[in-house]
Amino acid sequence: MSRSEKNWLKRAKRVTEQDSDHTRKEIGDLLFAASNFAHKGEVDPETVLREANAKFNQRFCSVENPLTAYFIAGA
């Protein structure tokens, strides 16, 4: 495991053990680092986040729609 992976795992553990204000700050740091990483790779972080949200929504709907139809049909 790389040094940065160990650092993030330590942070994740601390987040689960701390209060919500600390958690909010740690997540903010994570989002800032991810955005900075995207910029260094010449990737627009907002665009890729929108794409990830759209992909999640498609996957969710592919499960939700058949279940909704099943229960509406009264099976």
- pLDDT of the chain, 75 residues: tens digit per residue: 788 778 778 877 777 776 788 888 888 888 999 999 999 999 999 999 999 999 999 999 999 888 888 888 875
Predicted pLDDT of residue 69: 87
pLDDT reported for residue 42? 96
pLDDT given at position 75: 58
Q: Which long-range contacts (CB under 8 A, 24 or more apart) does 27-32 make?
A: none
Beta-carbon contacts of residue 26 (< 8 Å; ≥ 6 apart): 11, 14, 15, 18
